Amino acid sequence: MKEKRAILLVISIFCISLFSYHYLAYPKNSKQIVYKGFGWYGYLADDEINEESIKKIKELGGNAVNINVYYEYSLENESFILLSNLTKIKEKIELAHKNELKVFLSPFANLVRGHYTGGMITKPENFLNGAKNISIELAKFAQENNVEIYAVWNELGLAIHKLPNSINLTNKWLQDVRKEVKKVYRGILTTKEGVQFGLYESYNFSGYDCIGLTFYPFTTSFAKDPYTNFTYAGVENLEEYEKVVKEELKRIEKLENEFNINCVILGEIGIDVVGGKFVGNDEESKKIRNGAYEIVLRNGVGRIDGFFFGKFEGLNKVFVKYFSSSLKLPSLLIIFRTKESVIYSVSPKLPFTTKSTYGDDIK
C-alpha cells in the first residue's frame, strides 16, 4: 500500500510540474501547433506523395500530410467520377504512418478536365446528394485505415456560392453529413470551406471537432495561370496580404467562440496572385510564397492548431523556423491497473479516452 501511494505521489508531482511549466511558459490562450502539415493540390496531385516527398516533409519539421481523393463532376451527366486509385491512396496512408506522420484525408472534386467547381454548380440537388454519399463512403475508408483527420469535403460552399440560397444549402449539407459521418468515423472530423467571399462566417460548424478552412485570402488583384489559362485572385502586395490575413484570423476566432470549438485547421494554404502576376514556380514566385507563408505563420502561431501548406519546395527556412522551434509537449500515459486493466491517456490537448488508438470504445 505504501509503495502504491509513493508511486501515485511521484506521478502527481510530475503532472503538476509539467502542466505548471506549460501554463507559465505559454499563456492559456496561446495554442501550440498540433498539425504541421503539407500537401499537394491540383489535378491528381496525390501522385506527388512518395518516399522522397515524405522525407522532405520531415526535414521541414512537419508531422502531418494532407492526402486528397480526387473526383471529377460532370455538369452534363450530373454525376461524379472517381479519379484516384484507392489502393494507391491506402499505400500512401501506410507510407505516411510508417514515417510517423498524421494523415489528413479529404475528398476533392473538380469539373471534367480539371476545371474549378467554384460557382459552377447551378443544379445543386444531384451534386449535393452525390457529394454526401461520397463523403460518407470515404469516411468509412478513413476509419478502416486509421486516418487521424478527415474533412467532409473541399470547398463545398464555394461550388454553389452563386445560388441565392447557397448558405442554407451548405449549412444543411454540413450538418446532415456530419451526423452520418460521425456514425462511421472516430477520428478528428473537420471541414475545408474556403475563406473567399467571407461566406464561411455564416456557415454552421456545430458538432465538428475542428473548424477547417482553405486559406487563400484575396482582394482586387487577378491574373491567369499561363499553363492552364484559369484566372485566379490575389492581393496587390504582401503588405496588403498581411492585413487581410490578420482580419481573417480575427473572424476565425469569432467562429471558435460562437461554436465553442477550440480547434482551427487551415487545411490548404496558398497565394495565387500578387500585383497582377500569377505566383508560379519561378524563383521570384518562390520568394513571394516564402514571404506569404511566413506572414501566415507569424500571425497564426498561437491561434491556429494546424497548418497545411502547398507548393513548399525550396522554402526550407520559414518552416524550419516555425515548425522545428515549436514546443512539443509530451502526452502522459498513466496506467491504472484495475480488474478490467483499463488504460487512460492524459494529454494537454485531448480529453480522457479509453484507448490511444482508433476503436469502437473511443469517446
| DSSP assignment string, 235-257 | BSSHHHHHHHHHHHHHHHHHHHH
Residue 247 φ/ψ, nearest 5 degrees: -65, -40
pLDDT at 2 over 70: no
b/e per residue 279-307 (b: at least 16 CB within 10 A): bbeeeebbebbbbbbbbbbeebbeebbbb
Mean pLDDT of the 103-116 span: 86
Of the ranges 103-107, 157-161, 311-315, which one carries the lowest mean pLDDT score? 311-315
What is the structure's pLDDT at 119? 79
The Cα–Cα gap between 87 and 299 comes to 39
Residue 154 φ/ψ, nearest 5 degrees: -110, 110
Residue of 28 and 345 predicted with greater confidence: 28
What is the structure's pLDDT at 342? 33
The Cα–Cα gap between 143 and 3 comes to 41
Place of cell 500578387: 274
Give the cell for residue 265: 485547421
What does the angle CA 116 – CA 118 – CA 119 come to, to the nearest 5 degrees? 135
Mean pLDDT of the 193-207 span: 96
Q: What percent of the chain clears pLDDT 70, i.e. is strictly above it?
A: 79
What is the structure's pLDDT at 355? 30
Question: Do 37 and 105 meet the contact criterion of CB atoms below 8 Å apart?
Answer: no
**54: which DSSP letter?**
H
For the chain, the structural domain boundaries read: 28-328, 331-363
State the pairing for strand pair 264-269/79-82.
Answer: unpaired
Residue of 45 and 18 predicted with greater confidence: 45
Q: Which CATH number fits domain 28-328: 1.20.1090.10, 3.30.1490.20, 3.40.50.720, 3.20.20.80?
A: 3.20.20.80
The pTM (predicted TM-score) of the whole model is 0.81
What's the mean pLDDT when you consider all of the chain?
Answer: 83
The Cα–Cα gap between 92 and 95 comes to 5
Residue of 71 and 42 predicted with greater confidence: 71
What is the structure's pLDDT at 122? 87
What is the structure's pLDDT at 48? 81
Give the cell for residue 54: 515524405
Mean pLDDT of the 131-155 span: 98
pLDDT at 330 over 80: no
**Confidence class for position 27, pLDDT limits 50, 70, 90:** very low
Which tens digit of pLDDT belongs to each residue from 255-303? Answer: 999 999 999 999 999 999 999 999 998 999 999 999 999 999 999 999 9
Mean pLDDT of the 312-329 span: 73
**169: which DSSP letter?**
H
pLDDT at 136 over 80: yes
Q: What percent of the chain clears pLDDT 90, i.e. is strictly above it?
A: 66
What is the structure's pLDDT at 14? 53
**Confidence class for position 65, pLDDT limits 50, 70, 90:** very high
**Confidence class for position 94, pLDDT limits 50, 70, 90:** very high
Sequence-distant (6+) residues with CB within 8 A of 160 are 119, 121, 124, 127, 128, 166, 169, 170
With H, G, I as helix, E, B as strand and everything else as coil, classify residue 138: helix
Report the DSSP beta bridge partners of residue 72: 81, 110
Neighbouring C-beta atoms of residue 64, cutoff 10 Å: 23
